[in-house]
Amino acid sequence: MASSRPERVGDQIRVEITGMLTRQVHDPGIGFLTVTRVEVSADLQHAKVYYTTLGDEKARRESARALERASPFLRRQLAGRIRLRRAPELHFFFDESVQQHDRIEQILRDLEQERASRPAEPEAASSPADAPDAKPDSPTAHDPADRG
């Protein structure tokens, strides 16, 4: 749950922009777009709107241009929907974190497949105390004075 005012305003802006993009902005360049988060400055004058979109690099560039064209409209609409003295300037940024997350997930899946395809390794000694080179003063060795 958002605790500071900029975070609450950012959440409200994200909800409003998402609704406007789906119902009021009819630019075909926007395509399949998801607003992932909004970061609002402490003075509530600037909002960084992070988004993701489906498609290749060309579709991504087209979505960025469409969002820039829609920015004045979105800001005017926000001014009427949120209770602020001045609607923040909107700055749109492609959210790279989603692609990075997908890449990490793919690497983890590849590692898991690699582990599953390896033959099982012989199991080592079950504990360090059972090992032939265990030292008597090691914390894992049994001390005859310790009777518990």
Given a contact cutoff of 8 angstroms between Cβ atoms, the answer to whether 62 and 92 are in contact is no
Helix (H, G, I), strand (E, B) or coil at 84: coil
**Across the chain, what does the average pLDDT equal?**
82
In a domain, 140, yes or no: no
Cβ atoms within 10 Å, residue 134: 15
Model confidence pLDDT, tens digit, residues 58-87? 888 999 999 999 999 999 999 988 888 899
In a domain, 101, yes or no: yes
Place 50 in a pLDDT band, splitting at 50, 70 and 90: very high
Tally the domains of the chain.
1
Query: Mutual orientation of helices 5-23 and 57-81 as an angle, nearest 10°?
Result: 110
In a domain, 139, yes or no: no
Q: What is the pLDDT of residue 70?
A: 92
Place 55 in a pLDDT band, splitting at 50, 70 and 90: confident
CATH number reported for the structural domain that contains residue 82 in this entry: 3.30.300.20
